[in-house]
Amino acid sequence: MVKGRLCLAALASLLMSGVAFAQEKIKVGVTATLEGTYTVLGEDGMRGFQTALNKLGKKVGDKELEFVVASTDATPDSAVRAVRKLIEQDKVQILLSPLSGDEGIAVKNFAKTRPELTFVNAASGAQETTFVDPAPNFFRYNMDGAQWQVGLGKYAYDTKGYRNIATVGEDYSFIYTQVFGLVLEFCGAGGKITSRQWVPLGTKDFASVIAALPDDVDAIYLGLGGADAVNFLNQYQQAGGKAHLLGGSIMVDQTILSAKGNAKNALIGTIAASGQADTWDDPGWQAFVKDYQAAFPPEKRFPSPSLLATNYYNATTALILGLRKVNGDLGDNQSKLKAALAAIELDAPNGKIKLDANRQAIGTNFVTEVVDDGKGALFSKVAKVIPNVNQTLGYDPAVFAKIGLPSRTVPECKKY
């Protein structure tokens, strides 16, 4: 009888340990803009996330990765609400968040209130997120909006011969950062910005904006994305607009180039700059494109990954590699994981990425031109590749800091 009880106790102990083993997981919270103007960006970001999981799997040593997704609408309040919910209700231990610029600043600030957790930026690109008072537990493996514009200003001035341009941009931090990078380089080369117009995120009627565009410019720079970009292009074509266009990074990726209707054809010939280019012949990029295409049926994806898909893919990859490096050890307030993430150098599909002292990406940038493949599909064609772009854009850090933070009026159009 005693022997029987001992056997039952041993069996119960074994079963309990087996249950504990089976339940040993690392919970990761993921946010994306699955509502509002940038919904299409968030949806493709999640495709990039899934493509990374397809390649790397969800195992880290003897632990299973469990992902919990929360939706945002590109506003900072929605991002913080989503992150709080993931931490407090879903009990996630790591955050892969967020997508948009203002969201990034808010989540970085929130990260300081939870120093024991690890935050990996998913895609947001406002300069201030990592350049100003960075959070020690916040890691960004994509470049910021200004880094993504490196090469465009000089290309517009030297190769296209543009001397005067106007800008139209969404009125928030990421586009401020994009225009910042463009203005520094274009005006530094001798160009002039004749007007800067800012529109609220989610603008539907661009009639007054289009009417206010100056006639005496060589080109118009568009810092728009998602539904805003499509609405502008439709209305600009209807108004008979014929100016040369320059594009910000999310104006010329597949979230816009694959949009339905003919308005996107206004972008043929548009020069732009971004952290990637559809037609890059690098084997790593081509392999990533194939993996992305294979993961989803053609009607549920773009012909080529958007910048958001690439960013989410890289962020997810970095996180999993970091976790594997420490065998999933989240002890001591995740200190080993944080050290591993800071040291990772990604051989990413869009070029090598390493982090600076602020845990901000140094990477490769691309100047591109929109082309038609002859079958009605639009792609960004490589015009120039610029490696090792850092957050001060090659400026001495002291000089760069004196320029000021990106805003509606900063930087001034001059040579620094």
pLDDT the model gives residue 5: 45
Burial class (CB in 10 A: 0-12, 13-18, 19+), 414: exposed
pTM exceeding 0.85: yes
pLDDT the model gives residue 379: 97
Per-residue pLDDT at 2 exceeds 80: no
Q: Which of 8-12, 75-79, 332-336 has the lowest mean pLDDT?
A: 8-12
Per-residue pLDDT at 34 exceeds 50: yes
pLDDT the model gives residue 260: 87
pLDDT the model gives residue 15: 45
Region 316-338: mean pLDDT is 98
Region 409-416: mean pLDDT is 97
Per-residue pLDDT at 6 exceeds 50: no
pLDDT the model gives residue 294: 98
The answer to whether 131 and 65 have CB atoms below 8 angstroms apart is no
Q: Which of 18-32, 217-231, 352-366 has the lowest mean pLDDT?
A: 18-32
pLDDT the model gives residue 169: 98
Per-residue pLDDT at 404 exceeds 80: yes
Q: How many CB atoms lie within 10 A of CB 155?
A: 22
Residue 17 pLDDT class (50, 70, 90 cuts):
very low
347-366 pLDDT per residue, tens: 999 999 999 999 999 999 99
Q: Give how far Cα 18 sits from Cα of 4, 7, 13, 333, Å.
A: 21, 16, 8, 26
Distance (Å, rounded) from C-alpha 373 to C-alpha 11?
Answer: 66
pLDDT the model gives residue 411: 98
Task: Report which of residues 18 and 91 the model is more confident about.
Answer: 91
Residue 9 pLDDT class (50, 70, 90 cuts):
very low
Domains of the chain: 20-143+284-363 (3.40.50.2300), 147-281+364-403 (3.40.50.2300)
Which amino acid makes up residue 67? F
The structure tokens listed for 168 are: 């139209």
Mean of all residue pLDDT scores within the chain: 94
Per-residue pLDDT at 132 exceeds 70: yes
